[in-house]
């Protein structure tokens, strides 16, 4: 099977020769997991360089835009007010607050002081002494291999990294990072980091079930605004991310100013979860119509969560369940044929079709391609087991209001801590997810244990109901086919 690392080794065409495509997006989105703090350049406008940029040709609006990304300290000020007023649990977005002129967080200031302002290339990250912290988590080995391949690739080696931002705050419940990759004179790819292995990062993901925006979504919107105002970047913007990063990319693009949305050539969400019901409407997605692609693997467990209005492609992937969440397991088309889709290319548009269950999916258009292939291998729709899972999860979440979901998330993380888990990677080692959860539930305080057990009963009931209904519908269809 050809995967994204194989593509990286064999795709030797530059972006002038072969337009940007979904596989390129997945690679850059995944690389956002690399910790380049201190090497990657900080966001323009977080210091005196904002004024310098304005003096070098940047207009007043641009300088003002770059100053809008004030980072962690301003976000803390806002969310302190939110906490004092009570968390927002409805699906409707709140209005944007004005930034306060507050002193930056000490960690953020130290990071900015150490980071350069000039762009860097992938080769600049080849520092062995930094690898232990640069590559961590569940895919460290693949990430390291990816860096070496990108530094050598004629397609990626001349990309410039701009405007890196990272923030982590356990009290605030925030885990965020973003980097902008620039192909000079062509495009700027604004990539958002997915969830790391910290419990804080995972807790913020689960908070999305009852709260909008979460701090990382708020920060993503601010970041895109700031990057769009960076006068050094091309006009064309591509926005993307994997997992939580896909959700942040979608949120930032949908809440961006119309002038920024007009510059977005394509929005990618690679197996990113959606949003609470009624967070966004069709009207919110309309400005980006024809310029959005969401990918979910065939056995998706993340991208099927909650609601999204993005057109979806189902990707063939190796492994089962959560294993398929990794983009390293997604299958890339061979050179003879590939699925045509890409924001800057001249390929035919993918067609829409309805699968056997009535779900709208994006169909595959086969075209001649380069030897490396230019797209993921896609399927006509989600398999039956994944459709059942998606429907059951949707019903289960709909059966709880915001307060119920918050209590459930509180109880879940109490159970995780009771099981002795300090890093999310521990949960997925050796396939012991359910055993760890069971042990944690039994050790949790009585109130939390009751909440978790009720939630698990509700989830089991939702799966049972969906299975029974689909089996009944399938038998009815068989009987009608025979009688007809």
- The four Cα atoms 310, 233, 372, 341 give a dihedral, to 10 degrees, of 30
Please give the helix or strand (H or E) that residue 470 lies within, else none: helix 446-483
| Contact (CB, 8 A) for 292 and 311 | yes
| Contact (CB, 8 A) for 70 and 99 | yes
Ranking 132-136, 310-314, 459-463 by mean pLDDT, the lowest is 132-136
Of 428 and 70, more confident: 428
Instruction: Calculate the average pLDDT of the chain.
Output: 82
Instruction: Assess whether pLDDT exceeds 90 at residue 138.
Output: no
| Contact (CB, 8 A) for 276 and 306 | yes
The crossing angle, in degrees rounded to 10, of helices 446-483 and 402-418 is 110
Instruction: Assess whether pLDDT exceeds 80 at residue 116.
Output: no
Mind listing the pLDDT tens digit for each residue in 211-223? 999 999 999 999 9
Of 258 and 424, more confident: 258
Mind listing the pLDDT tens digit for each residue in 402-445? 999 999 999 888 888 887 888 887 777 666 667 777 777 777 78
Ranking 255-269, 348-362, 375-389, 415-429 by mean pLDDT, the lowest is 348-362
The pLDDT of residue 374 is: 80
The rounded percent of the chain whose pLDDT value lies above 70 is 76
Ranking 166-170, 330-334, 394-398, 433-437 by mean pLDDT, the lowest is 433-437
Instruction: Assess whether pLDDT exceeds 70 at residue 69.
Output: no
The β-bridge relationship of strands 237-242 and 264-270 is parallel
- CB-based contacts of 34, cutoff 8 Å, min separation 6: 125, 134, 135, 143, 147
Beta strands in 203-339 (DSSP E): 237-242, 264-270, 292-297, 312-315, 338-339
The pLDDT of residue 346 is: 36
Of 204 and 76, more confident: 204
Instruction: Assess whether pLDDT exceeds 70 at residue 142.
Output: yes
Mind listing the pLDDT tens digit for each residue in 156-208? 999 999 999 998 888 888 999 999 999 999 999 999 999 998 889 999 999 99
Of 55 and 227, more confident: 227
Instruction: Assess whether pLDDT exceeds 60 at residue 333.
Output: yes
Residue 231 half-sphere exposure, CB side, CA atoms within 13 Å?
18
Average pLDDT over residues 307-329: 96
- The four Cα atoms 88, 93, 98, 101 give a dihedral, to 10 degrees, of 50
The rounded percent of the chain whose pLDDT value lies above 90 is 57
Mind listing the pLDDT tens digit for each residue in 14-65? 999 999 999 999 999 999 999 987 789 988 765 444 434 434 444 443 444 4
């Amino acid at each position: 099977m050809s995967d994204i690392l194989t593509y990286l080794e064999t795709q030797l065409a530059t972006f002038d020769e072969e337009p940007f495509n979904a596989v390129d997006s997945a690679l850059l989105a995944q690389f956002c997991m690399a910790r380049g703090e201190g090497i990657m350049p900080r966001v323009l406008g977080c210091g005196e360089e904002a004024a310098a940029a304005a003096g070098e040709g940047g207009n007043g609006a641009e300088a003002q835009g770059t100053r809008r990304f004030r980072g962690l300290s301003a976000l803390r000020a806002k969310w302190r007010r939110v906490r004092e007023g009570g968390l927002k649990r409805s699906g409707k977005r709140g209005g944007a607050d004005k930034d306060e002129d507050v002193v930056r967080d000490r960690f953020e200031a130290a990071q900015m002081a150490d980071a350069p302002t000039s762009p860097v290339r992938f080769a600049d990250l080849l520092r062995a002494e930094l690898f232990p912290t640069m590559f961590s988590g569940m895919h460290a080995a693949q990430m390291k291999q990816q860096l070496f391949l990108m530094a050598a690739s004629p397609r990626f080696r001349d990309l410039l990294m701009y405007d890196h931002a990272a923030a982590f705050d356990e009290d605030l419940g925030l885990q965020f990072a973003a980097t902008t990759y620039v192909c000079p004179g062509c495009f700027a790819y604004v990539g958002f980091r997915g969830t790391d292995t910290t419990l804080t990062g995972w807790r913020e993901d689960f908070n999305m079930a009852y709260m909008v925006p979460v701090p990382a979504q708020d920060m993503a919107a601010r970041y895109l605004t700031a990057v769009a105002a960076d006068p050094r970047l091309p006009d064309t913007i591509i926005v993307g991310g994997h997992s939580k990063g896909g959700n942040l990319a979608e949120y930032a693009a949908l809440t961006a100013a119309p002038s920024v949305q007009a510059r977005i050539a394509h929005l990618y969400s690679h197996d990113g979860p959606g949003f609470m019901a009624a967070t966004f409407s069709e009207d919110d997605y309309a400005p980006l119509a024809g310029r959005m692609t969401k990918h979910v693997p065939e056995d998706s467990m993340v991208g099927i969560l909650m609601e999204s209005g993005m057109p979806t492609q189902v990707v063939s992937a190796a492994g089962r369940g959560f294993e398929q969440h990794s983009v390293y397991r997604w299958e890339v088309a061979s050179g003879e044929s590939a699925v045509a889709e890409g924001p800057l290319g001249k390929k035919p548009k993918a067609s829409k079709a309805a699968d056997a269950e009535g779900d709208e999916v994006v169909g595959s258009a086969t075209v001649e391609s380069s030897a490396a292939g230019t797209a993921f291998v896609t399927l006509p729709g989600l398999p039956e087991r994944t459709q059942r899972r998606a429907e059951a999860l949707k019903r289960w979440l709909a059966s709880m209001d915001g307060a119920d979901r918050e209590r459930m998330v509180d109880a879940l993380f109490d159970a995780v801590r009771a099981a002795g888990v300090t890093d999310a990677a521990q949960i997925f080692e050796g396939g012991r997810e359910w055993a760890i959860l069971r042990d944690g539930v039994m050790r949790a305080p009585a109130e939390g244990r009751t909440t978790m057990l009720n939630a698990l009963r509700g989830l089991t009931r939702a799966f049972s109901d969906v299975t029974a209904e689909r089996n009944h519908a399938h038998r009815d269809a068989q009987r009608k086919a025979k009688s007809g």
